[in-house]
Each structure stands twice: as structure tokens, then as C-alpha cells.
Amino acid sequence: MDYAAPTNENIAYIGLLADEEIELDSAALALSGLDHEGVDLEPYLDLLGQISATVNAENAAAGQDGSQSGEVQGALLSRVFGTRFDFAGDRSAYDAPLNADMIRVLDRRRGLPVSLSILYVAAARRMGWTAYPLNTPRHVLVSLGPDSDRAVIDPFNRGALVQPDQLAALLGQTSKALTSSGGLYLEPMSNRMTLVRLLLNQATRAEQAGDSWRACTLYERMTIVAPEHGAGWWTLARLQLVHGEVDAARASLSAMLEITRDPERRSHIAAALERLAGQSSV
């Protein structure tokens, strides 16, 4: 798919793609482009290409054959992203919305754990490596390498290797962070849910800042990118009601009902729709 000219149609198409067909960094860039009217995305796509070319060149220079361990792969990504291109977490303005805006992340070389993880994972996958973001609370990490020799790295900390004790401390739940054999067990995020987490970072901060209209826009994008994400539809409906958009809220709840199979949840949605019956938008 061509993400170079972001439009609503392109974003809708992301929602129709099979999860494995979504290219994380360019999809995140397309979402970002919706907030930067008139900005040419080609230079940013070129930068992503330069990063991938550098990873490939570094790997070739090291004489690697593609079978290296996750730790070796992580060290190479750390050199490219953290040293050559100076990508790191924004510690001075962590909650700034621009840290989840891929255009601004690429401009500033600073971002949140989730936005930086998207860049690392996309570059690793272009090398044919196994890589995915981890659904760790509060701080997204990246898993690299084959199952037999996997490593966890922290893109926010310039791709530093995360040791098991550090991971357990981060999670605060050693029993859930480690399996009985001592190996790491962490849930990978799908491409679609990684984009949802990126948008959720922005939406949550917008709502906390009192900008419910901005939050509503972001939740709407969330439902387009991940149409089967029920929580996104529910929150979108709530915000639409805050704005007096009853018809839109009813449509959002109806869409949620279409994708929900849990009987108790379906009953809850149906009750909400019944309460809205007869009401109309302001």
C-alpha cells in the first residue's frame, strides 16, 4: 500500500488489511500525516528507507548470516537507532503529544516507548528478523530473535538490552514476567493493537488536557484502523454523547454490537442503545 499521501481512504484501508500486511512505521506515519495538512511524507519515508539501509549495511559489515541471536540483533539496532541516528526517549517532556506523533518523532528523534518501538520493529522485520512490540504496561518494549535465543530491548533507552531482573522490576510482578523455566514470557502486540496503543496515548492525553474534540477525532481513527476493537467504539460513543452527537453515538454503539459476541457485554450495549432511543442530536 502507498502511504505517501495520507487520506481518510488510506486510513480506512489500513482497517481492511490483514494484520501481518500492516507495515508499522509507514502506517503510523500515515496516521500522523492526518494532523499535518500539506506536509510531504516522502522525506520521512526516505528516512525510514535510510535507516533500514543502514541496518542492512551494518549487518553485512559484521558478516552476519541472519541466524544471529536476538541480543546481537538488538545491539545492532541500538547502534543504528541510538548512535547513528540519535533516537531516544524524550525524558524531559515525556507527556508531550508530539512524542506519539510519528512525523514529530522523526523530526526530533525523540518519542515515547511505543512510537520508538514501532520504528525498531519495522526495521528489524525488513531484515527478515522476528520482532514484535510487547504489551508491557506503561512502557512498550521490543522482543527480538528466534524463540530459542530471544532478547528484549528498550527503544526508549536507545535500544539497551533488558535483563530479566530489570524486566521484573519494570513490571513489578516477577511471577508474571518469568516462566517457571526462567525464560521471559510477555504478550506480543499485533500490528493493529500497536497502532491502537499509539493512538490511545494521544487520545488519553488530549482528554486529560480537556480537549474532548481532539480525543474524539483520535478515537474515531482508532475505530477505523481497528474496527473490531470494542473499547474504542465505546469510548467514541461516550465522547460523542458529551458533544451532544446522539445519532453518531448510536451508530458507534451499533457498530460495537456488530462485533461483540459476549452475551453480557451485548446486553450492556443494547441497554445503552435503548436509553438513547427517541433522543436526537443537539
Instruction: Using pLDDT thresholds of 50, 70 and 90, give the confidence band for residue 50.
Output: very high
Residue 92: how many other CB atoms lie within 10 Å = 7
pLDDT digits (tens, 9 = 90+) for 149-165: 999 999 999 999 998 88
Section 31-45 average pLDDT: 94
pLDDT digits (tens, 9 = 90+) for 231-282: 999 999 999 999 999 999 999 999 999 999 999 999 999 999 999 987 877 6
- What percentage of the chain's residues is helix, strand, coil (to nearest 5)? 60, 5, 30
Is residue 141 within 8 Å of residue 153, measured between CB atoms?
yes
Q: How confident is the model at residue 127, as a pLDDT?
A: 96
**pLDDT over 70 at 3, yes or no:** no
Mean pLDDT of the chain: 90
DSSP assigned state of 79: I
pLDDT digits (tens, 9 = 90+) for 115-158: 999 999 999 999 999 999 999 888 999 999 988 899 999 999 99
Nearest to 126, CA basis, from 54, 70, 44, 62: 54
Nearest to 229, CA basis, from 196, 198, 253: 196
Q: Which residue has the higher pLDDT, 177 or 140?
A: 140
Q: How confident is the model at residue 67, as a pLDDT?
A: 74
**pLDDT over 50 at 228, yes or no:** yes
Share of the chain above pLDDT 70, in %: 90
**pLDDT over 50 at 5, yes or no:** no
Is residue 244 within 8 Å of residue 281, measured between CB atoms?
yes
Q: How confident is the model at residue 165, as a pLDDT?
A: 84
Please state whether 166 falls in left (phi above 0), alpha (psi between -120 and 50) or beta.
alpha
The partner residues of 131 in beta bridges, in order of sequence, read: 144
Question: DSSP readout, 100-160?
Answer: G-HHHHHHHTEE-HHHHHHHHHHHHHHTT--EEEE--SSS-EEEES-GGG-EEEEGGGTTE
Please state whether 170 falls in left (phi above 0), alpha (psi between -120 and 50) or beta.
alpha
The sign of the torsion formed by the CA atoms of 79, 26, 143, 137 equals: positive
pLDDT digits (tens, 9 = 90+) for 75-85: 999 999 999 99
Section 48-60 average pLDDT: 96
Query: What CA–CA distance (Å, rounded) separates 272 from 282?
Result: 18
Cβ-proximal residues to 135 (8 Å cutoff; 6+ apart), any chain: 186, 187, 188, 189, 193
Q: What is the H or E stretch that residue 50 is in?
A: helix 42-61
pTM (predicted TM-score): 0.90
Q: Kindly list the structural domains of the chain, giving each domain's residue range(s) and its CATH number in brackets, ordered by start.
A: 8-177 (no CATH), 191-276 (1.25.40.10)
